[in-house]
């Protein structure tokens, strides 16, 4: 048991065995796949038109760029790119809620970290930048919900990386945690350019369950909104990361947590469990969004699995 002072139970009352048995929701819209396939086509039809500025690099041999590109709806997105001399591919990184993207070095991979619309380099008057407000942006309709554009921002980041460094195409992968983990689960099934993924404590999984449990993360805003706008369930069904994960067709490492005050564990495990068993490697954390010393070996094992999967070991 983890001692805490939260006014709610960060385990949601689930045991490890119960979490590993959570299945995707039965609320999948009949046109779920069509909606996302259409969104993907619309996103890639937008010319990315990247503008590149070289910035100071902290180490010799590491090229660092600040890039701005166009995404779905004409949104201008900022991103950071870092490229080591021994690059063996590329990785699109999805940041967490409230975590500003910054240049990052990954071993033997060219990295692009887009600031999802509303955050960091991608702030704009039409996008809320406070997570509790951002997650409600345009939520009244599936076409306007901000997560649609957020997923498109990741796809366009892949486009930009391929335009700048075509040699990354044979080994283009995805990595994201929390907000970025949920977006990754929504993005991976439709983009065949991405050959593998890492999803750490992913959010947006199994909305019917998420709406039942309190948290201190962005999901709490959605839960409270749903209390007075129950019709939003129809929109959320199109943005369920667990529903999307059933369609993932590339190998994925996933690290769901048994205890998490920010992203409810049943939602995390719904995403993990939905990934086809033959494609997934699961490393169960004792705690997410929370420091737990006992998790160090699990993080190390997961990192080693990711390096092997991404071809950088």
Q: Up-side HSE of residue 199: CA atoms within 13 Å toward CB?
A: 36
Average pLDDT over residues 227-240: 98
Q: What is the mean pLDDT of residues 93-122?
A: 89
Confidence of residue 103 (pLDDT cuts 50, 70, 90): confident
18-32, 56-70, 138-152, 240-254: least confidently modelled range? 56-70
Query: What are 178-223's pLDDT values in tens digits?
Result: 999 999 999 999 999 999 999 999 999 999 999 999 999 999 999 9
Q: What whole-number distance in Å separates Cα of residue 255 and Cα of residue 231?
A: 32
pLDDT band at residue 102 using 50, 70 and 90 as cut-offs? confident
This prediction's pTM: 0.97
From the options 3.40.50.1820, 3.40.140.10, 3.40.50.11540, 3.40.50.300, give the CATH code of 16-310.
3.40.50.1820
pLDDT tens digit sequence for 285-300:
999 999 898 999 999 9
User: How many residues can be counted in the chain?
Assistant: 313
Average pLDDT, the chain: 96
Name the phi and psi angles at 103, rounded to 5.
-55, 140
Q: What is the pLDDT of residue 184?
A: 98
Q: DSSP strand E in the chain: where? A: 51-54, 62-70, 76-84, 90-94, 110-114, 172-177, 197-200, 252-255, 257-259, 280-282, 285-287
């Amino acid at each position: 048991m983890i001692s805490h002072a939260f006014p709610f139970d960060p385990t949601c009352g689930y045991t490890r065995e119960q979490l590993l048995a959570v299945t995707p929701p039965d609320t999948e819209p009949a046109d779920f796949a069509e909606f996302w396939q259409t969104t993907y086509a619309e996103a890639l039809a937008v010319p990315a038109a990247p503008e590149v500025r070289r910035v100071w690099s902290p180490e010799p041999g590491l090229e660092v760029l600040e890039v701005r590109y166009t995404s779905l709806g004409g949104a201008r997105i900022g991103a950071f790119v870092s490229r080591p001399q021994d690059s063996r591919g590329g990785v699109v990184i999805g940041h967490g809620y409230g975590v500003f993207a910054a240049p990052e070095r990954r071993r033997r991979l060219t990295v692009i970290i887009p600031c999802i619309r509303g955050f960091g380099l991608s702030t704009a008057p039409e996008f809320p930048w406070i997570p509790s407000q951002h997650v409600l942006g345009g939520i009244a309709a599936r076409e306007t919900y901000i997560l649609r554009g957020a997923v498109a921002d990741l796809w366009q980041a892949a486009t930009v990386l391929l335009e700048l460094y075509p040699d990354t195409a044979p080994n283009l992968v995805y990595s994201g945690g929390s907000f970025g983990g949920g977006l990754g689960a929504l993005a991976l099934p439709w983009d065949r350019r991405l050959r593998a993924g890492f999803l750490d404590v992913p959010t947006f999984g199994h909305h019917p369950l998420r709406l039942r449990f309190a948290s201190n993360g962005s999901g709490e805003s959605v839960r409270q909104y749903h209390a007075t706008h129950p019709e939003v369930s129809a929109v959320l069904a199109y943005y369920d990361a667990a529903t999307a994960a059933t369609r993932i067709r590339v190998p994925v490492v996933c690290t769901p947590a048994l205890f998490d005050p920010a992203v409810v564990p049943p939602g995390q495990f719904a995403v993990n469990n939905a990934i086809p068993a033959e494609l997934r490697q699961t490393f169960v954390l004792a705690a997410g969004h929370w420091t737990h010393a006992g998790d160090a070996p699990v993080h190390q094992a997961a990192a080693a699995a990711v390096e092997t999967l991404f071809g950088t070991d």
